[in-house]
Protein backbone atom coordinates (compact mmCIF):
# COMPACT_ATOMS: atom_id res chain seq x y z
CA UNK A 1 0.00 0.00 0.00
CA UNK A 2 1.19 3.55 -0.65
CA UNK A 3 1.51 5.93 2.25
CA UNK A 4 3.43 8.43 4.36
CA UNK A 5 5.80 8.14 7.30
CA UNK A 6 7.93 10.20 9.64
CA UNK A 7 10.21 9.73 12.63
CA UNK A 8 10.07 11.61 15.93
CA UNK A 9 11.67 11.37 19.38
CA UNK A 10 8.20 11.44 21.01
CA UNK A 11 7.56 8.20 22.92
CA UNK A 12 5.65 5.48 21.06
CA UNK A 13 2.64 5.42 23.39
CA UNK A 14 2.05 9.18 23.10
CA UNK A 15 2.53 9.03 19.34
CA UNK A 16 -0.08 6.26 19.06
CA UNK A 17 -2.57 8.12 21.26
CA UNK A 18 -2.17 11.37 19.30
CA UNK A 19 -2.71 9.62 15.96
CA UNK A 20 -5.71 7.66 17.27
CA UNK A 21 -7.38 10.80 18.68
CA UNK A 22 -6.72 12.94 15.58
CA UNK A 23 -8.27 10.26 13.36
CA UNK A 24 -11.35 10.21 15.62
CA UNK A 25 -11.52 14.02 15.60
CA UNK A 26 -11.57 14.01 11.79
CA UNK A 27 -14.54 11.63 11.74
CA UNK A 28 -12.80 8.36 10.96
CA UNK A 29 -14.06 5.13 12.46
CA UNK A 30 -11.01 3.83 14.32
CA UNK A 31 -10.37 0.30 15.49
CA UNK A 32 -7.32 -0.89 17.36
CA UNK A 33 -5.45 -3.70 15.61
CA UNK A 34 -2.79 -4.23 18.29
CA UNK A 35 -0.70 -2.24 20.80
CA UNK A 36 0.79 0.04 18.15
CA UNK A 37 -1.55 -0.14 15.15
CA UNK A 38 -5.09 0.83 14.25
CA UNK A 39 -7.33 1.20 11.23
CA UNK A 40 -9.05 4.46 10.31
CA UNK A 41 -11.97 4.16 7.90
CA UNK A 42 -14.16 6.84 6.37
CA UNK A 43 -16.92 6.50 3.80
CA UNK A 44 -17.88 3.30 2.03
CA UNK A 45 -17.00 1.60 -1.22
CA UNK A 46 -20.63 1.93 -2.35
CA UNK A 47 -20.58 5.72 -1.91
CA UNK A 48 -17.68 6.10 -4.36
CA UNK A 49 -20.30 5.89 -7.10
CA UNK A 50 -21.61 9.32 -6.07
CA UNK A 51 -18.17 10.87 -5.68
CA UNK A 52 -17.51 10.26 -1.97
CA UNK A 53 -14.02 9.08 -1.10
CA UNK A 54 -13.62 5.69 0.59
CA UNK A 55 -10.63 5.84 2.92
CA UNK A 56 -9.21 2.71 4.52
CA UNK A 57 -6.00 3.61 6.34
CA UNK A 58 -3.69 1.62 8.60
CA UNK A 59 -1.55 3.53 11.06
CA UNK A 60 1.39 1.83 12.76
CA UNK A 61 3.90 3.11 15.31
CA UNK A 62 7.29 1.39 15.14
CA UNK A 63 9.99 1.78 17.80
CA UNK A 64 13.65 2.18 16.76
CA UNK A 65 16.85 3.14 18.57
CA UNK A 66 16.98 6.56 16.88
CA UNK A 67 13.28 7.45 17.40
CA UNK A 68 9.77 6.25 16.76
CA UNK A 69 8.23 6.03 13.32
CA UNK A 70 4.60 6.62 12.43
CA UNK A 71 3.50 4.95 9.19
CA UNK A 72 0.17 5.76 7.52
CA UNK A 73 -0.70 3.31 4.74
CA UNK A 74 -3.61 4.35 2.54
CA UNK A 75 -5.82 2.50 0.14
CA UNK A 76 -5.64 3.24 -3.59
CA UNK A 77 -9.17 2.61 -4.90
CA UNK A 78 -8.31 1.91 -8.55
CA UNK A 79 -12.00 1.55 -9.46
CA UNK A 80 -12.54 5.28 -8.76
CA UNK A 81 -9.94 6.40 -11.28
CA UNK A 82 -7.38 9.16 -10.92
CA UNK A 83 -9.81 11.58 -9.26
CA UNK A 84 -10.85 9.08 -6.59
CA UNK A 85 -7.27 8.11 -5.84
CA UNK A 86 -6.24 11.77 -5.54
CA UNK A 87 -9.13 12.40 -3.10
CA UNK A 88 -8.01 9.55 -0.87
CA UNK A 89 -4.40 10.75 -1.09
CA UNK A 90 -5.46 14.28 -0.10
CA UNK A 91 -7.46 13.03 2.89
CA UNK A 92 -4.48 10.92 4.02
CA UNK A 93 -2.22 13.98 3.81
CA UNK A 94 -4.73 16.01 5.85
CA UNK A 95 -4.80 13.38 8.61
CA UNK A 96 -1.01 13.10 8.50
CA UNK A 97 -0.67 16.89 8.83
CA UNK A 98 -3.06 16.99 11.81
CA UNK A 99 -0.98 14.34 13.58
CA UNK A 100 2.27 16.21 12.87
CA UNK A 101 0.76 19.53 14.01
CA UNK A 102 -0.32 18.00 17.33
CA UNK A 103 3.14 16.52 17.91
CA UNK A 104 4.76 19.91 17.28
CA UNK A 105 2.17 21.61 19.52
CA UNK A 106 3.33 19.30 22.32
CA UNK A 107 6.96 20.28 21.75
CA UNK A 108 7.93 17.30 19.60
CA UNK A 109 9.97 17.51 16.43
CA UNK A 110 9.27 15.75 13.13
CA UNK A 111 12.31 14.12 11.57
CA UNK A 112 12.85 12.16 8.34
CA UNK A 113 9.54 12.44 6.54
CA UNK A 114 8.81 10.35 3.43
CA UNK A 115 6.02 9.49 1.01
CA UNK A 116 6.09 5.99 -0.44
Cα–Cα dist 51/57, whole Å: 19
Predicted TM-score (pTM) of this structure: 0.89
Question: pLDDT exceeding 90 applies to what percent of the chain?
Answer: 79
Write the CB contacts of 69 (distance below 8 Å, at least 6 apart in sequence).
Answer: 5, 6, 7, 61, 62
Residue 83 pLDDT: 77
How many structural domains is the chain composed of? 1
Residue 84 pLDDT: 78
- Is the pLDDT at 12 greater than 80? The verdict is yes
66: domain CATH number? 3.30.310.80
Cα–Cα dist 32/56, whole Å: 13
Residue 78 pLDDT: 66
Domain that holds residue 7: 3-115
Question: Tens of pLDDT along 45-91?
Answer: 555 445 578 999 999 999 999 999 999 999 987 666 787 788 999 99
Amino acid sequence: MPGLKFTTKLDAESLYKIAFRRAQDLGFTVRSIDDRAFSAISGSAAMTVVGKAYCDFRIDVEEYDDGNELVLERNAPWWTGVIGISRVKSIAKDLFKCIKDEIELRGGKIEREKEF
